């Protein structure tokens, strides 16, 4: 299977996928990495792995619609079977979802539907939950609302701060991402309403 990964930051989830896909038995390879900004460590990781990259900054386009169309075209060039947002901090638009809505995964650093948005661990800590985690889901038009593929629970410890909790979540999140993407590419999936079935 051909995977395109979209990123906005450090790319540690991307790295976990790059590492896993070096094993041919995994059944997939990362054929391109796209970003919404330049100068991020995740792009260096892609280059180091010999994977082609592209950058589509929102502000380089006249409108969000133009950006959506350009991003969709750039991703489509790589003929992906699966697209993974691994810390991609932009909501994609209707063009993108029309083209890829049944194969666009995102990983989020809380147990959805609790604490959507970009400050998940901070919000979970502030609320005082004792268990949080990470959610892998297919993206729909909402923010962090799509059909859930898998979740992993992570404890919140009494002396956690945002950084320690974020790191604990991220290590579980990376393992889940690698395991579940492998399962999806080997077995396929169907999305019925909000449910994802993996045979």
Catalytic site positions: 108
Residue ranges binding ligand GRF (CB under 6 A): 7, 9-14, 42, 86-87, 107-109, 170, 173
Nearer to ligand GRF, 47 or 73 (CB): 47
Residue number of the CB closest to ligand GRF reads 87
**154 beta partners:** 132
Task: Kindly compute the dihedral angle of the four CA atoms of residues 145, 35, 171, 129, in this order, to the nearest 10 degrees.
Answer: -40
**From the centroid of its chain, how far is CA 107?**
4
Contacts of 84 (CB under 8 A, 6+ apart): 3, 4, 5, 6, 17, 104, 105, 106, 107, 177, 181
Query: From the CB of 79, what's the least distance to ligand GRF, in Å?
Result: 24
* Residue number with CB closer to ligand GRF (98 or 118): 118
| Comparison of 68 and 173: residue with beta carbon closer to ligand GRF | 173
Least Å distance, CB 50 to ligand GRF, is: 19
Q: Which is nearer to ligand GRF, 36 or 173 (CB)?
A: 173
Q: Give the H or E element holding residue 129.
A: none
Are 46 and 53 within 8 A, CB to CB?
Answer: yes
Minimum Å gap between C-beta 192 and ligand GRF is 25
As measured in angstroms, the least distance from the Cβ of 43 to ligand GRF is: 11
Shortest distance, position 41 Cβ to ligand GRF, whole Å: 8
Based on CB atoms, which residue is closest to ligand GRF, 109 or 132?
A: 109
User: CA–CA separation, 1 vs 131, rounded Å?
Assistant: 34
């Amino acid at each position: 299977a051909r995977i395109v990964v979209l990123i906005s930051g450090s790319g540690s989830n991307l790295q976990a996928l790059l590492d896993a896909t070096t094993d041919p038995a995994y059944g997939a390879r990362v054929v391109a990495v796209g970003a919404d900004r330049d100068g991020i460590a995740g792009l260096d990781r892609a280059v180091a792995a010999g994977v082609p990259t592209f950058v589509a900054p929102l502000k380089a386009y006249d409108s969000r619609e133009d950006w959506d169309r350009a991003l969709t075209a750039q991703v489509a060039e790589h003929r992906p079977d699966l697209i993974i947002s691994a810390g991609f901090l932009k909501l994609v638009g209707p063009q993108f979802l029309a083209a890829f809505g049944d194969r666009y995964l995102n990983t989020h650093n809380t147990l959805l539907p609790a604490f959507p948005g970009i400050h998940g661990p901070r919000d979970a800590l502030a609320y005082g939950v004792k268990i949080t985690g990470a959610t892998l889901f297919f993206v729909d038009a909402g923010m962090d609302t799509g059909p859930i593929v898998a979740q992993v629970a992570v404890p919140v410890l009494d002396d956690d701060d945002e950084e320690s909790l974020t790191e604990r979540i991220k290590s579980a999140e990376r393992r889940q991402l690698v395991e579940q993407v492998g399962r999806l590419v080997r077995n396929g999936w169907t999305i019925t309403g909000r449910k994802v079935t993996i045979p």
